[in-house]
Structure 1
């Protein structure tokens, strides 16, 4: 090799080393001061290598990091600044600040459906107006009120009839539970329920399932301005397809909706209010035609997937703990004398039943990392600087598994929600629906549905693990929601 060739190679290597050193120094100098502590970060890549190679789930990885670095940890997701919060007090203090109440931009969804916003992804004044409008309309339609219980009970009766057709044979309850729960929000949004064998309804549940499934991997690219453009990756392409299928189907259902001046549902109220605003010449951030399908999609998601998954967990845990199941059934029988269905008004007489539902939500946090927030302007939290643009996560799984709060957190113990007199005792550390200004908009509806469906199911049936299967497993499948593995159950009719 000639002298000049060697010099060229050395010069090239020197140049590359210089570029790397410059980038590292540039990022170091630009790094804001007094950030929360966190794991060691690679140059340029940040913590992506650890996150991508960790054997634990993301929420378990962060939980372990909190033991070393404290309740607030900073993570670099390859140029995306992230803060992960641990502990009830920390999360409560953080989400009481308006600066930490924004949402990250959803780049993939916004590119597919531009110039529109929903409830989940809006921020600032737009979010305030949309949320206030949605809450007002939902209350006006009876959601969360005692009168709405009849709507849920009617759907529960249909679910019982559908399950009864199995005559005690083993089957996977995922579809029928999903149909029942989704029909409740369909009645609110679209003003009608669907037959379980309706192809249009089944297709709706298919696109919802696809959206959730692909979001487990592709959804992580949604909030990155850089990685969201990597559509050459199969995982991103599948996610983009799922987003298109989901929203296009919702757009179609909204477009088919017949507008009534005498409002029957959310869509009617939205369109009537928009017409009223237009005639008045009043500007509205929320009541824009392009926003309606996005808002409807968010309401549908908030009122279906997480609730249906929680009910599936409830069935599974009653199979795994037959003694708990028997105790719930005895409490229900004592309250109703088995001559009527359980009602929400019976709750004072059903403390153990309520405790079981709370323990199910605690031990398997369906949305373990919650929906991310965004820091809208520079602020501080517990002495640390949180720069504008930082994504903020609350590790709800950690909070629900913290041994300093919950004795033997891996054990299924409904009694932890009972006082010394056996009365139900709520605990503020259970935050399945979030904390603060951006707590779940569908919380009241979800609580009603969980109670009605759970009590109706146990009034009608006993849940039994099929004889020819392996022992009940409560292993979870990590994704957008933390769901149980597929399982079969025998619903045995009670006398």
Structure 2
């Protein structure tokens, strides 16, 4: 369905190309929906489209307006004007949408046949209530926050990763050709790529990893807080200090990467063409608090990219300059909007 829509939009553009962001965002978000809500939404579903728009707007307000100061002065959240007022309205609208879905799950819950993460959570919540566990962390409020976090974090980061990968591939058509040749050789054109193909597509994996390194979609990671006063390399980090891991700096460090600003997927391959694991490659963070969605994101990236490249050739519209490659900084580092021309591949046999 999404592939058909992509071609349709490209044909309607008259050579101006199609903005891949809305379709990619819908597809990625629907993966999250399937896992936590047991359902998918059509890309033209009005409420679903509104939810995605609200999430995007909420992130934009909270990171690219005076509302960013709420992180330092929480009382600003209650100001009755401007970005602060709009942010509260966005949160209310998202809350109504998600709580409506949770209520529907409660009404239709069958403990013997859980459909998704929400059902599994509700079953455990009811079990702990029946056991009289008064201090249980399984509550409706926590379920709401979990679903909200998965929606926002799981959609925005993976969507922008896919968009960066497509952008680099149109700017480096030789790399796109090499990836597609590898997919054609291993997968062919008579079935779609699956996760079992990952080990047989090292150059494709290396290309995805190299874009993750350069783009650093979450450049400052997720902020953490020191639970105890800690001494580290001569510095005292007091308890309660907010710590930001600078993943961008690690991924661009010239002491661990040769020509760190250049796009070179081969840096993740050994002399035999096998995939290399590098300790300084940490797009999902590091340590005990590494991103909990790492494995899901890796699977989504691989399947989305390989399916798109198996089916289509991507290029920039004729005469269209590439967007600035530094990206737009917010919660995630998103590429500037761009359009691509899409053509069906006929040689993937």
User: With structure 2 as the length reference, what TM-score do the two structures score?
Assistant: 0.91
Residues in 1 aligned to 2:226 and 2:68: alpha-carbon distance in whole angstroms: 18
Is residue 147 of structure 2 the alignment partner of residue 296 of structure 1? yes
Is residue 177 of structure 2 the alignment partner of residue 330 of structure 1? no
* 2:62 pairs with one of 215, 221, 227: 215
Residues in 1 aligned to 2:77 and 2:53: alpha-carbon distance in whole angstroms: 26
Residue 108 of structure 2 is matched in structure 1 by 259
Change (3 A) 1:408 1:239: farther
Is residue 280 of structure 2 the alignment partner of residue 420 of structure 1? no
User: With structure 1 as the length reference, what TM-score do the two structures score?
Assistant: 0.65
Q: Which has the higher Rg, Structure 1 or Structure 2?
A: 1
Is residue 32 of structure 2 the alignment partner of residue 181 of structure 1? no
Structure 1, unaligned runs of 5 or more: 1-157
Change (3 A) 1:362 1:233: farther
* 1:272 pairs with one of 107, 123, 126: 123
Residue 93 of structure 2 is matched in structure 1 by 245
Is residue 219 of structure 2 the alignment partner of residue 372 of structure 1? no
Is residue 197 of structure 2 the alignment partner of residue 352 of structure 1? no
Residue 159 of structure 1 is matched in structure 2 by 2
**Could you report, residue by residue, the CA deviation over 1:472-494 in whole angstroms, capped at 9, with x for unpaired residues?**
54240111110011111111100
461-470 or 394-403: bigger deviation: 461-470
Q: Is the 8 A contact 1:401 1:409 kept in 2?
A: yes
Q: Is the 8 A contact 2:6 2:18 kept in 1?
A: no
- Pairwise CA distance, 1:301: 2.0
User: Pairwise CA RMSD of aligned residues?
Assistant: 1.9
Residues in 2 aligned to 1:226 and 1:179: alpha-carbon distance in whole angstroms: 32
Residues in 1 aligned to 2:230 and 2:81: alpha-carbon distance in whole angstroms: 36
Is residue 198 of structure 2 the alignment partner of residue 363 of structure 1? no
Residues in 2 aligned to 1:227 and 1:159: alpha-carbon distance in whole angstroms: 43
Residues in 1 aligned to 2:54 and 2:102: alpha-carbon distance in whole angstroms: 15
- Pairwise CA distance, 1:404: 0.9
**Could you report, residue by residue, the CA deviation over 1:180-206 in whole angstroms, capped at 9, with x for unpaired residues?**
000011011111000111101111111
Q: Is the 8 A contact 1:477 1:483 kept in 2?
A: yes
